[in-house]
């Protein structure tokens, strides 16, 4: 039997490590967290120094049992969960569980940490074990307790004041505030007109353009030429003279490579360059870290991906510099290694930036073993890491001043004279720098140039852009909201709670998100304040480094927070969800108001339920009146005999009872297409084609709600030859073509009936 047991988080990591450690080691996985706070009020007790009540996570109990059994038979126990606070806490929980089972008596139990899954790194870590860091555990427990107290006290308040099912989080709420405030800026934005003036000229065969920078001896600001009249007047002051080169300024310019990736910058570039979401980027990075079989066994391809450090180990620097020396000209290698400073003063989640475990494993050499996402992400990490140790790119820049009439125009050009790191990794440049990349002819002071064209361009100021996932991650980092390892989950939570939607990959707050944010910023402003959130994160870092005790931090937060929760209980729901309008109801003349329902905001009468007047937020009273319900001739409501009318809802037109809300009978305007396939569940109804709220087709039993059977794919009245289920469905994908599949997931039967279309090259 193996004498040593190594416990990790991931089963795929366990398989890789087993190959490195040999027969003396058993390697088991905890499958992530093993304990969590009891999911009910009182799991954190402020009256008893915030004592926490934990329970085993049910889905992982069998893995804990397997670990306990292996511990009983081993002599040495190594806790090798991930090298961050979360991993430290998992090791501590495992230790407490095993200690509670009295399995650790007489056994050596130690913590080991490695930041890359390579044989040397793992063996070195096991040779240098340590004790569990109580400071790191305290920092993680403080974070968990804070999040619990906010969630279990603030979320029920949202249920009472807005609607059930909502949640508020300690870092989620300030992130929502960022998105809502940006949307408010966009709504309040008033565009302004301004003009830029340009001169087109040439020398020899080479054409170029210059922009007016000075007029009448005065430097132009953005709105100095604000209207078409100003533009015409400026052109008049410029016309009629010669264009003369009055000054030439030549400079040498360098661009330095960016630092290697941190969690934050990896997520940003994953979104910008690869089109991945933050969540997909992190899942793919996890796979590269845990290990891929590259033909010579499974090996971790990158170092640990949750880090805000930008340093590289001496061994990595030596290998990278050796690769540059062997594959590039001498001028691409700086004399000394390039060093970077951490932007985060508390960068300590890991010792290194994200890098390949070996720069010698080029992207092309491992490409056959990787999925498309894995290859794209590894390629980007590899190139950024290599580029960070290469020489700066060099440019010759030229600025030319050209006098014409009462004005001075400026033409700028830039020529790359040495690619440096850009030979490997091209970074984004801003628009201003992009404009300067134009090539200029060889000009000399005193040159008289032809005026090919003198013209103005009309511009309008633009509102600030909505946040993309990349720019939101950048803003979260700048404001100190959360930590890089939490950004993906923050974004996922906002989307899952339907507080935000994505429009052209940009975040827009929903009506629900707007109202939740309004409530929190008006009544809990301190707790969604960016500085407060950042200070709390800094305090967690100080707990982790031993500079601060965790109980006083909790106590300071809880005293103010609990008092505020109590004070806000008296707020009425109407105060939070309604807003008065200076407009009378066209039906009863009572004031109209903006109200909040399950489908968002709408305009309704303050006299409800006596008056049922409503209209959409984007409608006027006139357009709503023109859209009055149309009577369905010759039919009455089957429930109460009332008149049936055609109504318009958020998902299109439908037939409903005119006596709503007393009678809530509704039916589709168009009769659904019947597939003729008998429902496989109730065997009495028929499967009909319907549309989901988002417009996607699905197929469900026409006896709904008595029978709730439904499937996304078109049904076929053929029994599954594998499991006997009464129907099959037709599924079409780009990869596999069209196939018949069993809708029972546990069956897995599929039969290709048409292969995918062959790609044609144009």
Please, which residues have CB within 8 angstroms of residue 448's CB and are 6 or more apart in sequence?
A: 242, 243, 244, 245
Please check whether residue 220 is in contact with residue 364, taking contact to mean a CB–CB distance below 8 angstroms.
no
**Cα separation, 648 vs 654, whole angstroms:** 6
CA 528 to chain centre: 19
* Burial (Cβ within 10 Å: 0-12, 13-18, ≥19) of residue 268: buried
480 Rama sector, left if φ>0, alpha if ψ -120 to 50, beta otherwise:
left
β-bridge mates for residue 250, sequence order: 398
β-bridge mates for residue 428, sequence order: none
252 Rama sector, left if φ>0, alpha if ψ -120 to 50, beta otherwise:
beta
Q: Which of 304, 499, 527, 613 is catalytic?
A: 304
β-bridge mates for residue 207, sequence order: 202
Q: How far is CA 18 from CA 67, 130, 288, 295, in A?
A: 15, 21, 17, 17
Q: What six digits make up the tokens of 693?
A: 């709220």
**Cα separation, 561 vs 355, whole angstroms:** 42
Please report where in the chains the tokens 């709220």 appear, as a residue. Answer: 693
- DSSP type of residue 758: P
Q: Are strands 298-299 and 393-404 parallel, antiparallel or unpaired?
A: unpaired
Q: Are strands 4-8 and 25-29 parallel, antiparallel or unpaired?
A: parallel
CA 659 to chain centre: 45
Rg (CA), the chain: 33
Q: What six digits make up the tokens of 385?
A: 């890491």
Element counts in the chain: helices (H) and strands (E): 20, 36
Q: How far is CA 464 from CA 56, 85, 192, 637, in A?
A: 47, 37, 13, 51
Nearest to 223 by CA among 190, 254, 245: 190
Please check whether residue 153 is in contact with residue 562, taking contact to mean a CB–CB distance below 8 angstroms.
yes
**Cα separation, 533 vs 228, whole angstroms:** 48
Q: How far is CA 331 from CA 260, 382, 392, 420, in A?
A: 21, 21, 10, 8
**Cα separation, 150 vs 533, whole angstroms:** 13
What are the φ and ψ backbone dihedral angles of 232, each rounded to 5 degrees? -65, -40
Helix, strand, coil share of the chain (percent; to 5)? 35, 25, 40
For the question of residue 20 being annotated catalytic, the response is: no
Please, which residues have CB within 8 angstroms of residue 701's CB and are 6 or more apart in sequence?
A: 679, 681, 682, 685, 686, 687, 688, 707, 708, 709, 710
Which residues form the catalytic set?
A: 304
């Amino acid at each position: 039997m193996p004498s040593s047991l190594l416990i990790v988080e991931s089963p795929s990591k366990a398989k890789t490590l087993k190959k490195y450690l040999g027969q003396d080691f058993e390697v088991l996985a905890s499958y992530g967290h093993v304990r969590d706070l009891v999911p009910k009020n009182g799991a954190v007790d402020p009256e008893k120094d915030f004592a926490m009540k934990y329970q085993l996570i049910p889905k992982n109990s069998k893995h804990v049992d397997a670990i306990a059994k292996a511990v009983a038979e081993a002599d040495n126990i190594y806790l090798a969960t991930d090298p961050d606070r979360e991993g430290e806490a998992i090791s501590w929980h495992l230790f407490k569980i095993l200690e509670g089972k009295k399995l650790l008596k007489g056994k050596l139990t130690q913590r080991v940490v490695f930041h890359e899954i390579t044989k040397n790194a793992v063996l070195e870590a096991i040779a240098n074990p340590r004790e569990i860091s109580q400071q790191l555990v305290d920092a993680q427990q403080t974070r968990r307790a804070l999040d619990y107290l906010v969630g279990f006290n603030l979320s029920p308040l949202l249920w009472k004041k807005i609607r059930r099912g909502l949640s508020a989080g300690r870092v989620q709420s300030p992130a929502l505030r960022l998105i809502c405030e940006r949307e408010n800026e966009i709504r309040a934005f008033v565009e302004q007109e301004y003009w830029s003036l340009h001169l087109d000229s040439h020398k020899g065969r080479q054409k170029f353009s210059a922009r007016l920078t000075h007029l009448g001896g005065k430097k132009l600001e953005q709105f100095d030429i604000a209207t078409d009249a100003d533009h015409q007047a400026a052109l008049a002051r410029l016309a009629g003279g010669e264009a003369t080169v009055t000054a030439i300024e030549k400079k040498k310019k360098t661009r330095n490579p960016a630092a290697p990736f941190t969690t934050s910058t990896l997520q940003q570039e994953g979104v910008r360059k690869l089109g991945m979401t933050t969540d997909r980027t992190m899942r793919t990075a996890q796979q590269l870290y845990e290990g891929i079989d590259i033909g010579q066994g499974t090996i971790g391809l990158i170092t640990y991906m949750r880090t805000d450090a930008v340093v590289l180990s001496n061994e990595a620097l030596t290998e990278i510099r050796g690769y540059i020396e062997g594959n590039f000209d001498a001028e691409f290698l700086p004399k000394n290694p390039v060093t970077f400073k951490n932007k985060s003063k508390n960068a300590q989640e890991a010792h290194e930036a994200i890098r390949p475990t070996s720069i010698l494993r080029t992207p092309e050499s491992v490409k056959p073993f990787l999925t498309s996402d894995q290859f794209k992400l590894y390629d980007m990490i590899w190139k950024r890491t290599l580029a960070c140790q290469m020489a700066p790119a060099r440019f010759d820049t030229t600025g030319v001043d050209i006098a014409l009439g009462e004005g001075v125009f400026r033409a700028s050009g830039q020529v790359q004279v040495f690619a440096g790191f850009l030979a490997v990794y091209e970074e984004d440049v801003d628009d201003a720098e992009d404009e300067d990349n134009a090539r200029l002819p060889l000009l000399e002071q005193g040159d008289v140039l032809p005026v090919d064209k003198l013209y103005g361009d009309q511009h309008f100021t633009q509102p600030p852009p909505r946040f993309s996932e990349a720019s939101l991650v950048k803003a979260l980092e700048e404001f100190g909201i959360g930590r890089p390892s939490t950004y993906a989950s923050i974004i996922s939570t906002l989307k899952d709670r339907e507080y935000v939607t994505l429009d052209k990959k940009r975040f827009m707050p929903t009506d629900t998100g707007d109202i939740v944010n309004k409530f929190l910023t008006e009544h809990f402003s301190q707790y969604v304040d960016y500085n407060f959130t950042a200070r709390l994160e800094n305090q967690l870092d100080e707990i982790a480094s031993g500079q601060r005790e965790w109980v006083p931090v909790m106590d300071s937060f809880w005293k103010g927070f609990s008092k505020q929760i109590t004070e806000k209980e008296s707020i009425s729901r109407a105060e939070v969800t309604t807003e008065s309008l200076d407009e009378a109801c066209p039906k009863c003349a009572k004031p109209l108001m903006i109200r909040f329902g399950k489908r968002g905001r709408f305009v309704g009468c303050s006299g409800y339920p006596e008056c049922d007047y409503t209209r959409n937020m984007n409608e006027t009273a006139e357009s709503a009146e023109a859209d009055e319900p149309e009577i369905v001739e010759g039919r009455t409501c089957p429930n109460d005999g009332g008149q049936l009318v055609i109504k318009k809802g958020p998902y299109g037109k439908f037939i409903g009872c005119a006596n709503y809300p007393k009678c809530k009978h509704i039916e589709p305007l168009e009769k659904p297409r019947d597939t003729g396939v008998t429902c496989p569940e109730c065997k009495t109804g028929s499967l009909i084609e319907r549309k989901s709220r988002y417009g996607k087709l699905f197929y469900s039993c026409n006896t709904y709600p008595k029978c709730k059977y439904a499937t996304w794919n078109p049904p076929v009245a053929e029994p599954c030859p594998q499991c006997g289920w009464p129907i099959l469905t037709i599924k079409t994908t780009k990869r596999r073509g069209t196939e018949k599949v069993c809708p029972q997931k546990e069956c897995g039967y599929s039969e290709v009936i048409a292969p995918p279309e062959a790609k044609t090259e144009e």
